[in-house]
Amino acid sequence: MEDLTLLKLLIAIMLLFKEIISFQALASTFESDVTALQAIKKGWQATNLNWNGDDPCGSSWRGVSCDQSTSTLVKQLSLSSVGLNGRLLPSVSNLINLESLDLSFNPNLTGPIPDTIGSMIKLKSLNLQGCGFIGSIPPSLGILANLSFFALNGNQLIGEIPFQLGGLGAVTWFDVSENLLSGALPVSSVSPSNVGLNNLSAVQHLHLNNNTLFGLLPKEICSLPKLIHLLLDSNNFSGVIPAEISQLSNLQILRLDDNKFEGEIPSSINKLASLSELHLSNNNLNGSLPNLSGLQELMLLRLSQNMFDPQAVPTWIVNLTKLQTLEMDNDSLTGAIPPSVFDIPYLETLSFQSNNINGRLQFNVVTSSLTEVSLENNNITDVGGYSNSDQFQLLLIGNPVCSDNRFNFSSSICSQSSLASWVRDPSSCTTTCPDSKILNPLACTCAFPLVLQFQFNAPSFADVNTTRMHSLETQLEMAFNLSTQQVVAGSANFTEKHRLLANVLIFPAGSADSLSQAQVSNIISQLSLQSVSLTDFGPFIVKPLSQPPSGSKSGSNLSSAAIVGICIGAVGVFIVLLCIGIYAVRQKRRADKAEATSKPFASWGAGNKDSGSAPNLKGARWFPFTELKSATSNFSDSNQIGAGGYGKVYKGTLVTGEIVAIKRAQQESMQGAAEFKNEIELLSRVHHRNLVGLIGFCYEQGEQMLVYEYMPNGTLREHILGKDGPETFDWTKRLEIALGSAKGLSYLHELANPPIIHRDVKSANILLDEKLVAKVADFGLSKLVADGKGHVSTQVKGTMGYLDPEYYMTQQLSEKSDVYSFGVVLLELITARQPIERGKYIVREVRTALDKGGLQALRPLLDPSLRSYPNRDMESYLDLSLRCVEENASRRPSMSDVAKELEGLLVNDSSLGFTGSNANGRKYEQDEYSNQK
């Protein structure tokens, strides 16, 4: 009874304590600000705002910052990337003292931008980038005369840019890029009130790229005195580039690429002494190139895909001593390249693809910085001063020199180029992290990092490497006063529009689990507000991909409410003791809940069919759904790289920078929990050089996903049946691909335990890695051969044209069913034809031709790009292929026998010197057929 009385007394004291604090809070809070915040909160659905209590300034409301002198006026509202869902209500304008409004990177924050924001006359920063706002830009925003930062990029805004925005006389950063804006640029000469973008007298950054803006580039824009970045790329601008462009004396970056500009490049551009980047690619520019040797600060020059008159490679290029990147693809260049071009001191990449460069390519003195020379699709017949051991990559595919047997080029020289990318080398750490934590490969510790994706809109380079990414890490450490090894660049790659995407992880220092919420907010806020400058990387956008779990706390100044708490010290002691008991009980409950949450396999035991224990995996790991969702940008269509009966396949980038392929099952293809568990246990044990490796899986939130290693060169089908014609694979490469595939299938049939029948062998399920090594994929739903049986009775599944007729008739699936399908792949590999094409079946067509006239009669069916091969080896290859597609399964060889015969052909091919592109120059007289035109 006494205990109960004491408990009631303590509760009464706590209620009194709360009333005292609430009274003090109300007394110190500016009432209209409280009302405004509570009103705008009604438009949002967010569970992590932590807006509790009646005092935004004294109760640490998330993202709310107040006047430091009075602690009564709300000055900043910073809620970048906190998962806001809903609309921004007009009542936000009641925060009349607000100076900074940052709601960036909340993609589910939608609806129109309230025009009432125009009444927030004290606003200095408006950051609404990366949200889902729709409708037009409110003209009333032009009233914000004190605004210096204006970012509405990355939304779905439509309509014209209001001419009233010319009233933003103090703005230095103006960004409305990556929207759906249209119309002409508003300038004072055509606006009703003589106000337009040319009145932005303080603007330094004008980013209007990636919209559907059209019309001329007004010469008035060229009068902006402080402009350093003008990004107008990826629009529909037309007409000539005005000669007045030379008036932008402080301009450093000019992006006019991917438009419809025409006429000649104005020679006045040569006066832009501060210009470091000039992007004019993909326009309709014509005439002769002007002399641009006056651009002594130029680091990047892109002029590709225009309509210039035929002309020699400009000699003035060698005077651009700071040039790092030079791209002039498809520009009607003729003649030879002056050897002195390759000695420009800082030159890294040079690309003159699809021109009429001819004659001898001569390398004399080559700068040590050079990494790539791309000259595909020209008429180069000779190369001097280059060897395969040189430090830079030479790309010559599509030149006569690649068919000349005199040159012992490595295969990469006559291969297709790809967009530059970089992935951090695998860590040597032996540390194993819990499923929910990420390994810091530099410090070998585990934590919850802040993961950011940088989009650099105009980097001054086209080659991304370890040195450059280390520079990015160092600059970010210095910017945020972080220690060495806290910032880790995971991966980076260039897009087709010459933007650089880089994933960066920021780890806590020492043994801490995560950065504090204050640190995270500070980093995101400074980056989104462009308070950090990154040398050589240029203007950027930062998107948070993953944030540490909430709960980390940072120090804060004592509020007035806290002072009241201290003043009632004796009461506080009792309250603390009581709270400790309550806290302990709650923590126990939370721990139990967290433990249940951390067991993704607990639900697998439903119905007493499974213990719910974790699968017994070898090398594969469990991925939370949120991580794979982030890795694929919410499974966006742009990341989809394949689809089938099982579901869709997405390209994803993990927080570690590793690129993976994620196969996501559709509802009707999902297995039961126990079956899925058994499957991933099996697949995690299947390891072979010629099988696509399983990295992990996800079984959460009603999802079944398999995570595989990513194959950058896609499918075999894409190469041999590509929309642009078949890939030029020589005879040896085709044998290597066939042998690798056969070895992978042989492993499944004979060495996997239990054996696995693939059931859908086809060229679309044979993938090629970065070195064109073949790997069999998509055996995740294959059938297991158990209990020593040689076959499995199953519903017929597979792809028409590859399907074993005996399996189709009897529904008895065996390893020989895979052999039949592989035989079709072998024929597809040398004919570059689909199994069934215009009603003709490739197996029947090849067999009929051989029966009619042997190899000579078959030659019209062979791939024209297969230029030469030994006749005897081709005959052996065809004999093997047709034995694989025998209608009677007992007459087909085993997959291990197929691999042995292919290996014999490859060994024989090498012993004859028939490797690469007939590199040793051997002439096969009567034992070789050449299909060269």
d(CA 567, CA 275): 63
Which residues make Cβ contacts (< 8 Å) with residue 509, sequence separation at least 6? 482, 483, 486
d(CA 166, CA 197): 5
How wide is the angle at C-alpha 782 spanned by C-alphas 780 and 787, nearest 5°?
125
CA proximity to 199, closest of 224, 227, 229: 224
Is the CA virtual torsion 323, 328, 334, 336 positive or negative? positive
Kind of pairing between the strands at 421-423 and 253-255: unpaired
How wide is the angle at C-alpha 493 spanned by C-alphas 487 and 495, nearest 5°?
135
Kind of pairing between the strands at 311-312 and 300-302: unpaired
d(CA 144, CA 113): 15
d(CA 187, CA 520): 40
| Residue 545, token pair as written in the block | 């991909």
Is the CA virtual torsion 733, 737, 738, 742 positive or negative? positive
Residue 848 is inside which H or E element, if any? helix 842-858
What is the DSSP code string of 786-824?
-TT-SEEE----S-TTT--HHHHHH-EEEHHHHHHHHHH
State the catalytic residue, choosing from 760, 804, 873, 909: 760
Which residues make Cβ contacts (< 8 Å) with residue 505, sequence separation at least 6? 438, 440, 449, 450, 451, 452, 487, 488, 489, 490, 655, 656, 657
| Residue 720, token pair as written in the block | 């041999």
Q: Do the Cβ atoms of 457 and 231 come closer than 8 Å?
A: yes
* CA 589 distance to own-chain centroid: 40
Residue with tokens 């240029």: 538
CA proximity to 231, closest of 261, 207, 257: 207
Say whether 3 is catalytic.
no
Kind of pairing between the strands at 836-837 and 156-159: unpaired
Q: How many CB atoms lie within 10 A of CB 708?
A: 24
CA proximity to 231, closest of 178, 295, 308: 178
d(CA 501, CA 264): 33
d(CA 929, CA 856): 10
Q: How far is CA 384 from CA 357, 362, 627, 864, in A?
A: 15, 5, 51, 30
Catalytic residues: 760
